[in-house]
Amino acid sequence: MSDLLAIGTSATQLYQKALTTVSNNVANLNSVGYSRQEAVLIENTPAQYGVHYLGGGAFLEGIKRSYDQFIEQNLRTSASEVATQRPLVHYTNRLIDMLGSEDNALAPAFDRFFNVAEQLSLNADSIPLRVDLLSAADFLAGRFRNLDQQLRDLDTESGRDMSSLASQINRLAGQLASVNQQLQKNTVRDAQAPALLDQRDRLLNELAGFTGLHVTEAANGEVDISIGQPGNLTTLVSRGTHTELSVEFPVDRPASQHLVLDKYGRNLTLSGISRGELGGLASFRDDVLAPLMFQLNVLAESFVNEVNTAHRSGMTLASEAGGDLFTLTRQFRVDNGSQQPVAGVRIQEAEPPALQEHDLSVTWFGGEQWQVLDHRSNQVQALQGSVQGDVLQLHVAGLTLRFEQLPLPGNAVRVRSDSQAAQGIALAVTDPRALAAALQYEVTQDSDNAQSLTSRLSAVPPSANPLTEDIPSLAQYSGLNRPVSIATSRTQPALQVPAGLAEFQIAFLPEPGSSAQIELFSAHFNHLLGASKAGDPAALAAMQPRFDNAEHYLETHRSASSAGSFSYRGLDLFYGHRAAEFTQSVAIPAVQQPANSDLIDQGDLVLNGVAMPALRIADGATLTAQHVADWVNDSGSAVTASVVTIPMTDSQGNALTDPDTGEAMTHDVVRFSHAMVQWRFGAQGKSGDLALLGLSTGLYGSGTVPEDLLVYMASPAPAADGTPLQAQVRAGALASAGDAAPGALDEQFTVHFSQPAGQPLRYEVRDANGTRLALRDFDMQRGVALPGFSLHFDRAPAAGDEFSVAANRDARGDNRNLLTLISLRDAEIVNQQTVHDYYVTIVNTIGNVQKISTLNLQASEIIHDQAVNEKSVVAGVNLDQEAADLIRFQQAYQAAAQIITTSIKLFDTLLSSSR
């Protein structure tokens, strides 16, 4: 009602409320997240009196909360941005302090190692200096391990930070969800309690500091919150419910993490957190810490491999070959794919170890059948392993896996290597005398040489010969006995026999009458077994591509096929057929006696030293086991033969049965009885002759193979090239490259230069026994190639010059291998950089991250400060403003109170007038 009293009382009440609001603002001056509240006074609806309107006073429309949605959003975004940079700055600072301080850095440790080595190079036999070098090496290894440990500690610490942040986020999300529930009671945001909205905003700001948020506000003020990478968001809070965030750390990869939402429910993987402190930590771990740990490992591994290679080609004070100077313990993890470790598997690495990570799934299908999936290249291979007793063995990717417990057939076993080189680096040498400062070999010049030359020996590490890389090697049959299909060729080798193989056997069974034969060459065109090629330039030219084009054909040690047994540099060889007691031939082929010739000519075969007579039966008759047995028994050799009937078997060894009668089929074979039956060829003998008797022809080698050899399956008739033959191949153990080559340090080589008329200067390499190993044209650039070394001269030698290369014993003052080690300081051995530069680059890279994130932090702090200021302009309490409002409302209140007094006086006047 628009009269004085009503207006007055409503006004006083109104201004009382306004004053309360002002005092609330003043009281909440320092409350966190408080938004200034303002009483909104609105004119009351006027009453209509005829044509006039009389005002009805004022009323309180509501308490407005000072709020700007866009400023709030700005504030949250800038808070996230600032919080992202802080962990980066903090942790990169710590990393730089760790890596860049003079006391802790790796670079001074390298300096010390190389400097002491340089001092030692002046006095290579000084024991105190050697002890110094060992302690410098130990110090270096210790620094690596130390740094690695510190990095792992940082990994743990930052991981813990992430976990605690995740639980903070969960707490805030939970609180926001319950705030949402309370907000549900109203449908309009303006009707919500300001304190509730303040709390909501406060929680949102705090949460924004931890992670970048995407906030959607409903009409009534409820919020939905999503987190994650832009474009790939996942909901964290949805109205009154929230999902929990957790961080998981994979065991096998350091400094990595998975963010998982709703772990015990739907278990969603987050694409990643983009901003906020959690995002900053994740970015530090992914972009800085993990690559750093990897680089440290690369540095350790490259350095150790180079140093070890140099050290292994040196000679210790005790005149022995140097071993490894440092060891790297490489960890292997074997599990069944779901992190359960599998026991009973031993893993050995090939020497030298490859700088590669392994991630293989190996499945056994019984017997020797394996399947291997390489997870890094996603390639599947079927491989053949071997069984020795109860132990399964498999060679794959430079590893030898030995399963001492049978794995489950069909179930994959995961094998992973952990190249944590920086963690496992250690000094392997403790005895100062075992430091290999000297060279292993020494060159002496003959006194008759035309002039005195300066020579230089350099070690050549063993590597695959590119000319014969594609030829199958007997090494893969090491410990096995396998059939192999070989195509005859007079010019292409069929197999290679690697140096260091303990023994081998290659046997084949051709057609009767075949003249296929095995020829043996060394890798230096030195003909060891077979018919001479000296008069066949076409054949030599056809064979040359497999040998270095400077190599000449040598046949000094060639044995004709008829030699039977011969030996080459300690390897005993036998060509023919050799078998122990009671062996029998396979079935005698049913050959018909032709009219005009013997089946086997006189003297073509020699049995245990006795030349066999001709083998001839009645014209047109078929050769039987009995014929052969009689022939052998009448020959006068010490071997006796008898005929036995044995069941027929197929190639797998299963007994054959006659399809008509159902009975097992049998055949007659010849059994030879002698402790050692040896068949070799006469001058005209050929493998077809042995095949006529059902016997295979083989090359048998026993004793260690001294150098790489090539086996040819040749046939004199050109038309026969390409005929496939089935051979049975067996090989013994192969000495690993880590062991010194057999007898290496006792080897001695001589080099003789000669120059036949009209030919370029050539040289010949002989071993200590005078065995000619190779004959080559001489080239100044390439020098003389020796097994494991190359020899260079400052000027060309003259024809007739002689040099000898022998083990460098008792050269206690020889520092030449040490000089090689010292040269590693300036060699680009890691990623085309020296070790010092690589380390410095690592520090610089982190320094760049630090600088950029510091600048970003400063910039985002400025933006954040601006946003805070803007908010405080809109929602902050200024005491002067409140004081002015206080005065204003107080005066208004007094005035309104005066209205009441006036209306009372009016009423009194009215009352007193009616008396």
Partner 1 sequence: MKVATNQYFRELTRLLTEQGGEVASLQARLASGEKNLLPSDDVNTAVKVLDLNALMSHHDTQQTNLKNLDSRLVQEESVMASIGSMLMRVQELAVMGANDTYSADNRRTMAAEIRGYKEQLLMLANSRSSDGSYLFAGAKSGSPPFVAAQDGTVQYQGDATRLQIQLDSGQVLEVNTTGFELFAGGSNTRNTSLDAGSAFATLENLALALESADRDGIAAQMDEIDSLRLNMELARTKIGVRRNVIEVRADILEEQKVSLTGLLSENKDLDYTQAITELSSRMLALEAAQTTMSKISQLVLFNYLR
Q: For residues 395-454, which are near partner 1 according to CB under 8 A?
A: 438, 442, 444-447, 449, 452
Report the residue from 18, 71, 83, 107 that binds partner 1 according to the rule CB under 8 A: 107
Q: Give first-to-last CA distance, the chain, whole Å.
A: 27
CB nearer partner 1, residue 377 or residue 447: 447
Q: Which amino acid is at 801?
A: D
Q: Whole-number minimum distance, CB 795 to partner 1, in Å?
A: 13
Q: How many helices (H) and strands (E) does the chain have?
A: 14, 47
Report the residue from 269, 405, 881, 894 that binds partner 1 according to the rule CB under 8 A: 881
Report the residue from 94, 189, 416, 552 that binds partner 1 according to the rule CB under 8 A: 94
Q: Whole-number minimum distance, CB 562 to partner 1, in Å?
A: 41
Contact range with partner 1 by CB under 8 A, out of 119-127, 364-372, 398-406, 684-692: 119-127
CA distance 628 to 600: 11
The interface mask with partner 1, positions 315-354, x = CB under 8 A, is --x-------------------------------------
Contact range with partner 1 by CB under 8 A, out of 86-94, 665-673, 704-712, 763-771: 86-94
Residues 767-806 interacting with partner 1 (rule: CB under 8 A)? 804
CA distance 476 to 394: 11
- Any idea which residue has 């057929």 for tokens? 577
CA distance 58 to 67: 24
CA distance 793 to 782: 10
CB nearer partner 1, residue 406 or residue 879: 879
Residues 799-828 interacting with partner 1 (rule: CB under 8 A)? 804, 808, 810-816, 819, 822-823
Q: Does 470 bind partner 1 (CB under 8 A)?
A: no
CA distance 510 to 513: 8
Report the residue from 15, 67, 114, 441 that binds partner 1 according to the rule CB under 8 A: 114
Alpha helices in 824-878 (DSSP H): 835-875
Alpha helices in 491-596 (DSSP H): 537-543
CA distance 327 to 348: 14
Report the residue from 2, 10, 121, 748 that binds partner 1 according to the rule CB under 8 A: 121
Cβ–Cβ < 8 Å for 355, 312: no
Cβ–Cβ < 8 Å for 525, 774: yes
Q: Does 908 bind partner 1 (CB under 8 A)?
A: no
Residues 26-55 interacting with partner 1 (rule: CB under 8 A)? 29-30
Residues 184-213 interacting with partner 1 (rule: CB under 8 A)? none
Instruction: Provide CB contacts within 8 A for 850, sequence distance 6+.
Output: 88, 89, 92, 93, 96
The two three-digit tokens of residue 304, written as one number: 């150790």
CA distance 325 to 314: 11
Report the residue from 9, 16, 73, 123 that binds partner 1 according to the rule CB under 8 A: 123
Instruction: Provide CB contacts within 8 A for 660, sequence distance 6+.
Output: none
Cα 871 off chain centre by: 54
The two three-digit tokens of residue 174, written as one number: 């939970």
Q: Whole-number minimum distance, CB 73 to partner 1, in Å?
A: 19
Report the residue from 56, 108, 513, 732 that binds partner 1 according to the rule CB under 8 A: 108
Q: Whole-number minimum distance, CB 155 to partner 1, in Å?
A: 19
Secondary structure class of 384 (helix, strand, coil):
strand
CB nearer partner 1, residue 60 or residue 819: 819
Q: Whole-number minimum distance, CB 133 to partner 1, in Å?
A: 12
CB nearer partner 1, residue 363 or residue 445: 445
In what side-by-side order are the strands of the sheet with 232-238? Answer: 214-217, 223-229, 232-238, 241-242
Q: Whole-number minimum distance, CB 827 to partner 1, in Å?
A: 13
* Relative orientation angle of helices 69-100 and 276-284, to the nearest 10 degrees: 30
Phi, psi of 297 (to 5 degrees): -65, -40
The interface mask with partner 1, positions 250-289, x = CB under 8 A, is ----------------------------------------
CB nearer partner 1, residue 665 or residue 879: 879
CB nearer partner 1, residue 130 or residue 312: 130
**CA proximity to 471, closest of 702, 710, 285:** 710
Residues 491-520 interacting with partner 1 (rule: CB under 8 A)? none
CB nearer partner 1, residue 453 or residue 550: 453
Cβ–Cβ < 8 Å for 587, 671: no
Q: Whole-number minimum distance, CB 96 to partner 1, in Å?
A: 4
Task: Report CA-CA distances (Å) from 602 to 606, 616, 684.
Answer: 10, 10, 9
Residues 824-843 interacting with partner 1 (rule: CB under 8 A)? 836, 840, 843
Q: Peptide bond preceding 742: is omega within 30 degrees of 0, i.e. cis? A: no
Residues 859-878 interacting with partner 1 (rule: CB under 8 A)? 868-869, 872-873, 875-878
Kindly tell me the sign of the dihedral angle through the C-alpha atoms of 356, 357, 358, 359.
negative
Q: Does 574 bind partner 1 (CB under 8 A)?
A: no
Radius of gyration of the chain (CA): 46
CB nearer partner 1, residue 125 or residue 601: 125
CB nearer partner 1, residue 226 or residue 445: 445
The two three-digit tokens of residue 206, written as one number: 């705090």
CB nearer partner 1, residue 328 or residue 438: 438
Q: Whole-number minimum distance, CB 104 to partner 1, in Å?
A: 9
Q: Does 850 bind partner 1 (CB under 8 A)?
A: yes
Report the residue from 125, 349, 548, 598 that binds partner 1 according to the rule CB under 8 A: 125
Residues 680-699 interacting with partner 1 (rule: CB under 8 A)? none
Cα 180 off chain centre by: 51
Report the residue from 27, 42, 54, 122 that binds partner 1 according to the rule CB under 8 A: 122
**CA proximity to 253, closest of 303, 300, 304, 297:** 297
The two three-digit tokens of residue 163, written as one number: 């976990």
CB nearer partner 1, residue 583 or residue 804: 804
Q: In 10 A of CB 56, how many CB atoms? A: 17
Cα 496 off chain centre by: 29
Cβ–Cβ < 8 Å for 500, 787: no
Q: Does 851 bind partner 1 (CB under 8 A)?
A: yes
CB nearer partner 1, residue 253 or residue 851: 851
Residue 777 bridge partners (DSSP): 762
Report the residue from 76, 112, 242, 558 that binds partner 1 according to the rule CB under 8 A: 112
Residue 348 bridge partners (DSSP): 400
Q: Whole-number minimum distance, CB 90 to partner 1, in Å?
A: 10
The two three-digit tokens of residue 619, written as one number: 């014209």
CB nearer partner 1, residue 505 or residue 853: 853
Contact range with partner 1 by CB under 8 A, out of 351-359, 481-489, 776-784, 881-889: 881-889
Indicate the pairing of strand 571-580 with strand 565-568. Answer: antiparallel
CB nearer partner 1, residue 399 or residue 818: 818
CB nearer partner 1, residue 643 or residue 874: 874
- 120, with CB counted inside 10 A (0-12, 13-18, 19+), is buried
Report the residue from 7, 75, 105, 786 that binds partner 1 according to the rule CB under 8 A: 105
CA distance 222 to 200: 9
Question: How many chain residues are in contact with partner 1, going by CB under 8 A?
Answer: 73
Contact range with partner 1 by CB under 8 A, out of 92-100, 141-149, 330-338, 366-374: 92-100
Q: Whole-number minimum distance, CB 847 to partner 1, in Å?
A: 3
